[in-house]
Amino acid sequence: MGKQLRLMAVHAHPDDESSKGAATMVKYLAEGVDVVVVTCTGGERGRVLNPRLDRPETAADLPAIRQAEMTRARQILGVRQEWLGFVDSGLPEGDPVPPLPEGCFAGLPLAEAATPLVRLVRRLRPHVLLTYDERGGYPHPDHVMCHRVSVEAFDAAGDPDRYVGTGEPWQPLKLYYHMTLSPARIRALHDAVLAAGLTSPYDAWLAAFQGTERASHEITTRVACDDYFPARDAALRAHATQVDPTGHWFAVPRELERAVWPTEDYALARSLVQTTLPESDLFAGIRECARV
């Protein structure tokens, strides 16, 4: 793979890659970085979130539809994509919360769930891994498990004594958590929309913060990628069963978004290279490393 920089974004379901970090990926692709999306599950237990498509026949064929949507989104973004092949856990609801379905992604032993990701890391040799924080970005069990397997792969892929038989060891150099949906960003967009005399789509989001505007991690890295918001939006629309085209994803005028918050944001969780915070580049400290 020579000296090409390599980025791997690990996501729980098809559509997550388009709502978190999509513009960043397209920016780096345009700069010659090799970018691969890893999708842990097929989204089989998801719901149809676009009311225009919420029909019995759509729900009955949802696994195949979501695969087709992922193919289209991948083509729009231009990324490579790998499925880990695990089964969606669904979002358990109720009081008490029901147990996870048997055999689902979030219910597997960590080593079993992490093995295919370790194998991919060793084969594709990314320098940077993107994933969710300990809370999964939001508390879906698959998002939390995605965090766990990503951290496990980051820690284990370079150790020849772990996951024996899954390829030659490879150690990624940096691990980041997505912070695109941070309270600070939501608040800034909310205030800007109101100042423009428009209706904010974020009232419920802000109420969910329950009086705290602190994120789980501090933003360390802001990647300017507003030129690539149109590609992000097109990829989001490709996930038609999951994204309402009249919903909150598209409620903020794009010129206003670009003026208020032109970056996608990350928290640097692990780094094996020297870097100075804050950063504007996921590959800061790596570009100068002879190992690439």
Domain-located, residue 288? no
Terminal Cα distance for the chain, rounded:
9
Domain-located, residue 203? no
Region 245-271: mean pLDDT is 95
> In the chain, what's the furthest Cα-to-Cα distance?
60
pLDDT the model gives residue 95: 79
Q: Find the CATH number of the domain harbouring 242.
A: 3.40.50.10320
Domain-located, residue 279? no
Domain-located, residue 214? no
Q: Which residue has the higher pLDDT, 183 or 84?
A: 84
* Residues shown for the chain: 292
The structural domain count of the chain equals 1
Domain-located, residue 283? no
Span of 114-128, 202-216, 236-250 with lowest mean pLDDT: 202-216
Percent of the chain past pLDDT 70, that is, above it, reads 96
Which residues on neighbouring strands pair with residue 83, listed in sequence order?
Answer: 39
Domain-located, residue 287? no
pLDDT in tens, 18-72: 999 999 999 999 999 999 999 999 999 999 999 999 999 998 999 999 999 999 9
- Domain that includes residue 163, residue range: 6-181+219-271
Q: Residue 112: is its pLDDT beyond 50?
A: yes
pLDDT band at 136 (very low <50, low <70, confident <90, very high): confident
pLDDT band at 90 (very low <50, low <70, confident <90, very high): very high
Which residues on neighbouring strands pair with residue 224, listed in sequence order?
Answer: 263
> Chain-wide mean pLDDT for the chain?
94
Region 256-276: mean pLDDT is 97
pLDDT band at 79 (very low <50, low <70, confident <90, very high): very high
pLDDT the model gives residue 204: 85
pLDDT the model gives residue 216: 77
Kindly tell me the burial class for residue 42, based on how many C-beta atoms sit within 10 Å of its own C-beta (0-12, 13-18, 19 or more).
buried
Domain-located, residue 238? yes
Distances (CA, A) of 161 to 124, 166, 168, 172, 268: 19, 11, 11, 16, 26
Region 257-282: mean pLDDT is 98
Contacts 24+ apart (CB under 8 A), 154-160: 154/121, 154/129, 154/270, 156/114, 156/118, 157/118, 157/121, 157/122
| Helix axis angle, 62-77 to 229-238, nearest 10° | 160
pLDDT in tens, 43-53: 999 999 999 99
pLDDT the model gives residue 215: 63
* Sequence-separated (6 or more) residues with CB below 8 Å from residue 102: none
Q: Residue 2: is its pLDDT beyond 60?
A: no
pLDDT in tens, 210-230: 655 566 799 999 999 999 999
Domain-located, residue 264? yes
pTM of the shown model: 0.95
pLDDT in tens, 144-166: 999 999 999 999 999 999 999 99
Distance CA 177, CA 154 (A): 13
How far, rounded to the nearest angstrom, does the alpha carbon of residue 198 sit from its chain's CA centroid? 29
pLDDT the model gives residue 69: 97
Region 249-272: mean pLDDT is 96
